[in-house]
Structure 1
């Protein structure tokens, strides 16, 4: 174990996390004497001036917290998270549960981790804490094939993967549907009444299977341009007040057109000497003035 030169926390935060050698994890010097370090095996460790307690990868860090210490100093973990800021992509709070009444404390820590985008891991011994840290370091460059679902290339495996994507449909239901309808096309063409007759499939499950094949992928129909803008919008211009002339004479007989608008009242005679003071200007004068000055304005 080699000791790295110490520097201030602000300097390390500005320069970013130190480069971690593969298969080597970095530990904060404040953890000297922590019993977790004695149980870290299969990976090398070194001291470094870092903001978190452990750096188990280029973009992964961990903060260690003992619940017994947290009860005595509840502000400690908040200060550490605030100092951590937005550094690292995966941030872990490794909690050592070494007290008996831990339910309320873990609930509050979980809320805090959700707010600060931190993954909380609860361990019950120092050996388990060390095992988590070692596993994160060992699997730093491992592909996710070990935890990825494996789908075989045969017909039954593909059929099972497709039908189990429907809610509440399990592998036993897939075997029943395959035996009853012989093929995927037979299941897709089956009616809801035929699906209900299969053992283990009720009304709710049959409706979900039928909806998976019949309902469109979109929840609402797509809106076309014709629904928003008419193809040939009729744009009619209303004639001006002077060109209207006398109202048209209605023709005898049934008429589908609405009755014509009555002619408006004549505008008052304009005078330059009109008093526009607030004390004498009323709403009727404003309306008459507007109609006289802007007779061609069309109200929409």
Structure 2
């Protein structure tokens, strides 16, 4: 089949997956609350007439990455070294990295051999979790067709697609999601420079190959932007650390017209 030809072999299965339309609640917390409040207490009578209560499932450690027990032996776990992990039998996703965040993991080779697998997993997951990540390890020589396939699935089922090119990279991605669990979105947003001097430095460093040190040195030498713009190429080349190549590029950029005909 042509690599650009769309594979519709499991569209029927995709159609049966219910696309989340309401906020999703993690099954972990829901099952715990329901078991604590609604579940009747059960007891077992022993031979001597005493009763014993079956032990309940322990609450998950919120500081750990919760790992589905089926992931034991996965090489990605070797790269998770900065966050503790806890194996659980009572979670549906492969990894739970936050109260409302989970990760499904699949290698591209496995997806090629079992194209329906991820759809079945999504049916089991249902509407749980607000952030649902599909982490794909690229381990196939020709990944393009399979990735198109997985991209369609993520678009239809409210998934975030993340790619890793090794087990080590996949492990670090899982670890990072947990480490950033309580970070605000502003933490990774680009910092907007506030002072005029900082804005000028940022503007000058956008001219390759001028770096931040060059920009600061230029402003110290010329005092203000007007003097810098009016300086000759020869004068610019005399600035310590700038040199003829940077001076030529800077002079050319500063004297290019803003509008093109």
Interval containing the TM-score (normalised by the shorter chain): 0.5 to 0.7
Q: Deviations along 1:257-299, whole A, 9 cap, x unmatched?
A: xxxxxxxxxxxxxxxxxxxxxxxxxxxxxxxxxxxxxxxxxxx
> Structure 1 residues 14 and 35 mapped into 2: Cα distance closer, same or farther (>3 Å)?
closer
Equivalent residue, structure 2, for 1:134: 175
Report what 1:202 is aligned to.
259
Highest relative contact order (Cα 8 Å, sep 6+), 1 or 2? 2
Preserved CA contact (<8 Å) 1:20 1:58: no
**2:69 — aligned with what?**
29
Larger Rg: 1
User: After the TM superposition, which parts of structure 1 deviate over 6 Å for at least 4 consecutive aligned residues?
Assistant: 158-161
Deviations 1:228-284 (A, max 9, x none): xxxxxxxxxxxxxxxxxxxxxxxxxxxxxxxxxxxxxxxxxxxxxxxxxxxxxxxxx
Alpha-carbon offset, residue 146 of structure 1: 3.8
Matched residue pairs, number? Answer: 166
Q: 1:14 offset after TM fit, Å?
A: 8.7
Map of 1:1-300 to 2, 5 A cutoff? 13=27, 16=30, 20-48=60-88, 49-155=90-196, 199-202=256-259
Report the RMSD for the aligned CA atoms in angstroms.
3.2
Tell me if the contact between 2:108 and 2:139 (Cα under 8 Å) persists in the aligned partners. yes
Report deviation, 1:139. 1.4
Does the aligned pair in 2 maintain the 1:94–1:129 contact within 8 Å?
A: yes
**Residue-by-residue CA offset, 1:26-68 (whole Å, 9 max, x unaligned):** 0111212222223321111112211111001111100010111
Is contact 2:139–2:166 with CA below 8 Å preserved after alignment? yes
TM-score by length of 1: 0.48
C-alpha separation in 2, matches of 1:73 and 1:33: 20
**Which residues of structure 1 form unaligned runs of 5+?**
1-11, 165-169, 173-177, 181-197, 205-300
TM-score (ref. length: structure 2): 0.54
- Mark the runs of 5 or more structure 2 residues left unpaired by the alignment: 1-25, 33-58, 208-224, 228-254
